[in-house]
Amino acid sequence: MKNALLLLVIAFLLFLAIFFYWKQSQAESQLAMANEKINSLEQQVLRYTQPAPMDTLQPSQPQHQPTPETPDRVEKVAPPESTTFEEEIGTLTEEDVQRLKKKGLKNPEADLMNDLMRKQKSLLTTPGSVGGTMAIQDVRILNDRHALAYFEDGHNGGYLLLRYAVNNGTITWTKLDTSKL
């Protein structure tokens, strides 16, 4: 009886070992297929995102036979260390500030943001959901005529593209477009 029980336990453990080995090899093969698919998609993306070489001294002529890109020849494009566009978006240039000061604003960026916050209820027509109230959370003054505002109610949000006009220190806002997220 003890021998039969011992053989049964050994057989069960052997079955578990074989089962887990089979599952591991199955998972490894699925992972290898997924990695191949990712590599293939990355190569396709690189083909479309790399700029075509351009020779400015000779007129452009179609190549006779395109050479397929191999992983050895594919160069990855690295983004610059500092992207000034992201840092500069939402700030007025010195010329914009001077034009707005001539129109009657003492501190143009702050005056515009404060005025927009006071008038946001008339500009936000999107109703809040689940008891929330739509409110502007972030404002970017793009130039001396346009602003971009992010609004949300804690559940849903979106962007509001606005045009503003300043006349003798009075600011009027016009909603150009709304985009819900």
Cα–Cα separations (whole angstroms), residue 11 to 6, 15, 17, 18: 9, 6, 10, 11
| Domain boundaries, position 6 | 1-51+66-78
71-82: b (≥16 Cβ within 10 Å) or e: eeeeeeeeeeee
At residue 106, the pLDDT reads: 92
Question: What pairing do the DSSP bridges indicate for beta strands 146-152 and 170-180?
Answer: unpaired
At residue 104, the pLDDT reads: 92
Q: 59: pLDDT confidence band, cut at 50, 70 and 90?
A: low
Are 43 and 90 part of one and the same domain?
A: no
The dihedral through the CA atoms of 171, 177, 178, 181 has a sign that is negative
Measured torsion, CA atoms of residues 128, 130, 136, 140, in degrees rounded to the nearest 10: -100
Q: Where are the alpha helices (DSSP H) in the chain?
A: 2-49, 84-88, 94-102, 108-123
Whether 17 shows a pLDDT value over 50: the answer reads yes
At residue 172, the pLDDT reads: 94
Full-model pTM: 0.51
At residue 167, the pLDDT reads: 92
Whether 73 shows a pLDDT value over 80: the answer reads no
Please indicate, yes or no, if residue 166 is contained in any of the structural domains. Answer: yes
Please indicate, yes or no, if residue 112 is contained in any of the structural domains. Answer: yes
Residue 158: name the closest of 118, 116, 129 by CA: 129
Please indicate, yes or no, if residue 60 is contained in any of the structural domains. Answer: no
Once rounded to an integer, what is the mean pLDDT over residues 114-130? Answer: 87
The Cα–Cα gap between 102 and 57 comes to 48
Please indicate, yes or no, if residue 61 is contained in any of the structural domains. Answer: no
Are 42 and 91 part of one and the same domain?
A: no
At residue 2, the pLDDT reads: 81
Are 101 and 74 part of one and the same domain?
A: no
Whether 87 shows a pLDDT value over 60: the answer reads no
Please indicate, yes or no, if residue 165 is contained in any of the structural domains. Answer: yes
The Cα–Cα gap between 93 and 114 comes to 19
Query: How buried is 31 (Cβ within 10 angstroms: 0-12 exposed, 13-18 middle, 19+ buried)?
Result: exposed
**At 51, which amino acid appears?**
P
Are 94 and 167 part of one and the same domain?
A: yes
Are 96 and 42 part of one and the same domain?
A: no
Total domain count, the chain: 2
Are 25 and 94 part of one and the same domain?
A: no
Are 139 and 70 part of one and the same domain?
A: no
Please indicate, yes or no, if residue 17 is contained in any of the structural domains. Answer: yes
Please indicate, yes or no, if residue 90 is contained in any of the structural domains. Answer: yes
Q: 76: pLDDT confidence band, cut at 50, 70 and 90?
A: low
